[in-house]
Amino acid sequence: MAEENKKPASELRFDLVSKHWVVIATGRARRPETFAKEKSPAKEKNEADKKNCPFCNIETQLPPVLVYPKETDISKKDDSWSLAVIPNKFPAFIQGDSLRERAEGPYSLMDGIGFHEVVVTKDHYSQMAEFPVIKIREVIDAYQERYLELMNEKMVNYISVFHNHGLEAGATIAHPHSQIIAMPVMDPDIKQSLDGSRLFFEMQGKCVHCAKLEWDREDGRRIIFENEKFVALCPFASRVAFEIRIYPKEHHSYFERIKDNDKDQLAEVFRVALGKIFKGLNNPSYNFFLHTGPCDGKNYDHYHWHFDIMPKTSTWAGFELGTGIEISTIEPEKAAEYLRGI
């Protein structure tokens, strides 16, 4: 009987969508509050950063493709702007008329044709976790508006929307900003997610994310916050400690079709989720990104769009690099319980 009750050193949890195993290190799990005591590189901001910040001097950047309020002319140093979307000065993808697909021996390659844009909010010091709901709603509006524009561009088959906060998360500029990359190919992570969702739908006749949501909302242990339309939770097979996923409660496959009435609710859940990470983990570096049905003209009705928030609570070492299996040092149930209390 003692052996039956003995806590294992770890749990292997299976992700129904990606088909990956994740290690939850229960035997050497850390207490939630220990994460908040660690140094926060994301706090390293100063006046020198602001003085030399390209986004604080946005009139010196490439002409914007979108500005809020719409009538603002930032080229004339109009200081009334609150959000601007500008082409990335050092883009990963550039506009072009041909992919020039070709082969080199056994290898295939093509030109990096697409679009790379930066979504900049005005305040140098205020990050999204500190925004009021109305400002997060503005960011969501910009994501949707640019998505709808870019998805109709030639050779664009997938649009990646992501946000890096803090040096450890890859934010080389401290000023808060998101990025949008429209490209001709689908990234492997979303392809794996789409394939897993499709396979589950073919076998079970329902959306895998809806099935997980139904279970998690009934179980309750991993739920952090929910309102009428959206829910934030720590996934059962969390890849990192304090990973948060934001889902629409109803089944929707394409983020760009989100209704205006629902965007305030999404902004509220985002505000709560980011705020809990900010307060509970001492402003850590983090990434968040959108997973949605691609815009390549195919049918992805089996998919369920969502945002993932990934705090930088650990780094990959030999085991993770060698196997591709992540190790999380806190059970998602305990992470959610801690965040609920923030």
User: What is the pLDDT at residue 97?
Assistant: 86
Q: Write the single-letter amino acid at 201.
A: F
Report the run of H or E that residue 13 belongs to, with start and end. strand 11-14
Q: In whole angstroms, give the CA distance from residue 194 to residue 207.
A: 11
State the pLDDT confidence band at 16, using cuts at 50, 70 and 90: confident
Minimal CA–CA distance to 86: which of 158, 157, 167, 179? 179
Whether the per-residue pLDDT at 38 is higher than 90: the answer is: no
Q: Which of 272, 283, 287 is nearest to 336 (CA)?
A: 272
Residue 214: predicted pLDDT: 97
CB 64 within 8 A of CB 85: yes
Name the pLDDT band for 46 (thresholds 50, 70, 90). Answer: very low
pLDDT at 24: 67
**Are 234 and 331 within 8 A, CB to CB?**
no
| The two structure tokens encoding residue 14 | 């299976």
The larger pLDDT score, comparing residue 287 to residue 313, is at: 287
Work out the pLDDT band at 48, boundaries 50, 70, 90.
low
CB neighbour list of residue 242: distance below 8 Å, 6 or more residues apart: 35, 234, 277, 280, 281, 311, 313, 330, 335, 339
Please say whether the beta carbons of 183 and 157 come within 8 A: yes
The per-residue pLDDT for 284 is: 94
Write down the pLDDT at residue 40.
Answer: 55
Residue 287 · residue 310 · CB < 8 Å:
yes
Most confident of 23-37, 108-122, 265-279: 265-279
pLDDT of residue 26 exceeding 70: no
Domain ranges of the chain: 2-340
d(CA 115, CA 153): 9
Q: Assess whether pLDDT exceeds 70 at residue 190.
A: yes
pLDDT in tens, 75-94: 888 889 999 999 999 899 88
DSSP, residue by residue, 284-330? --EEEEEE---SSSS--TT---EEEEEE------HHHHHH---EESS
User: Which run of H or E residues covers position 118?
Assistant: strand 115-121
Measured between alpha carbons, how far is residue 141 from residues 44, 72, 119, 145, 316 in Å? 29, 17, 11, 6, 34
| CA distance linking residue 303 with residue 312, whole number of Å | 27
Question: In CATH, what is the architecture of 2-340?
Answer: 2-Layer Sandwich (3.30)
CA–CA distances in Å: residue 273 to residues 32, 158, 200, 233, 327 = 16, 26, 28, 9, 22
Who's near 65: CB < 8 A, 6+ residues apart?
A: 85, 86, 87, 117, 146, 149
pLDDT averaged over every residue in the chain:
88
